[in-house]
Amino acid sequence: MKYLSSLKTKNLSGKICLLRADFNIENTELFGKNIHPRIAAVLPAINFLIKKGVKIIILSHRGRPDLKTYNLKLKTYTLKPFATILSKLLKKPVKFIDFSNINNLSKSDFDRLGSDVFLLENLRFNPGEDKNDKKFAQKLALLGDFYVNEAFAFCHRPTASIVGIPKLLPSYAGFSLENEIKNLSKVMKKPKKPLVVILGGIKVMDKVGLIKNFWDKANKFLIGGGIANTFLAAAGEQVGKSIYEKEKLAFCKKLLKSPKIILPIDSIVKNSSIFDIGIKTRRNYTKEIKKAKIIIWNGPMGLIENKAFRKGSEAVLKSILKSKAFSVIGGGETTALISNFQFPISKNIFISTGGGAMLEFLAGKKLLGIKVLNKKLR
């Protein structure tokens, strides 16, 4: 695989880079003083390319816009706010390009548009993106000289901008994608013991691959969130009105035969539903985290959108921050929790920008967006 870091000695002046970012972030008002991890991830590559005299066209998607309701999608899913955010962070203007103009644009147009950095409108406003349409990929590829992928969180999706463009242009894994590959690989290949996996979120289904791939490697699996409800139900515990996966009860029962699975011993309950792990469970999980030399965490311990049910996740995070273990943390809600924290993040903690992509990578699957970077141009 070719990495952007390999171009440090190359003369790139006057070239145009198509940089695939991931700005699939719902609420731009949440940032405040903290930079969202997915925005922070692309800044080093952008600054590097600017210094090299490269013009940058940033490509991204946001949400799942209904193409039949144009006015609604424009307000809700437009990438325009990110041009303002990037301009402030880069301390230079980032020119926003409305998607309707793409058919009339050519590489030569970017010289007269008066900027070094451009942000193209939401790729999903064109149906060719999700369909991995070759013609759409070709239109995008004609705008640049080379391609850089910095969208790890979307590397498991077969779209035009993820797998189509790299077949048409010289392509590289960006700095953050390189970090993702190296750090996630670190916990998979001969990891130090004890290895503790912390799993939260809603569905057991989403974590099956990771659990299977790490079953022989991990010493403990600490379970929380909606996932814990399914395990508790499988153990014969009463979960009231809590949501759980009936189709995964048999799978969970098999896992419960092993002492590796650690379940909550108390919970925060409201209206007969479980919304967070309890105080005793937090203490138990903290003890296990203290013993660990490798930690993997994906998914919150409770309904963190509500401050009343955020304490379990915060307790886990504080324990990891105090730990000397090498830790990998990922998942949209989990990383959002971190971005709102004021605690310093040490070098032994790697925050992945991926949710589903992180889970698939740790399940041992080859992500399409990474796999295509290993192929030669046709």
The residues assigned a catalytic role are 38, 203, 332, 356
52, 57, 60, 62 alpha-carbon torsion, rounded to 10°: 120
Q: What are the structure tokens assigned to 239, written together?
A: 């979960």
* Coil vs helix vs strand at 146: strand
| Nearest in space to 242 (alpha carbons), one of 231, 256, 254 | 231
CA 360 centroid distance within chain: 11
The sign of the CA dihedral 119, 122, 125, 128 is positive
Give 49's Cβ-side CA count (13 Å radius).
28
* Coil vs helix vs strand at 148: strand
Neighbouring-strand partners of residue 262:
222
* Coil vs helix vs strand at 27: coil
* Count of CB atoms situated within 10 Å of the CB of 241: 10
**221 Cβ contact partners less than 8 Å away, ≥ 6 residues apart:** 196, 197, 198, 199, 211, 255, 260, 261, 262
* Count of CB atoms situated within 10 Å of the CB of 347: 6
Distance CA 245, CA 70 (A): 36
Cβ contact 34:339 at 8 Å: yes
Q: What are the structure tokens assigned to 198, written together?
A: 């912390």
Q: Is 44 exposed, middle or buried (0-12, 13-18, 19+ CB in 10 A)?
A: middle
Cβ contact 25:62 at 8 Å: yes
Cβ contact 93:115 at 8 Å: yes
What are the φ and ψ backbone dihedral angles of 111, each rounded to 5 degrees? Answer: -75, -30
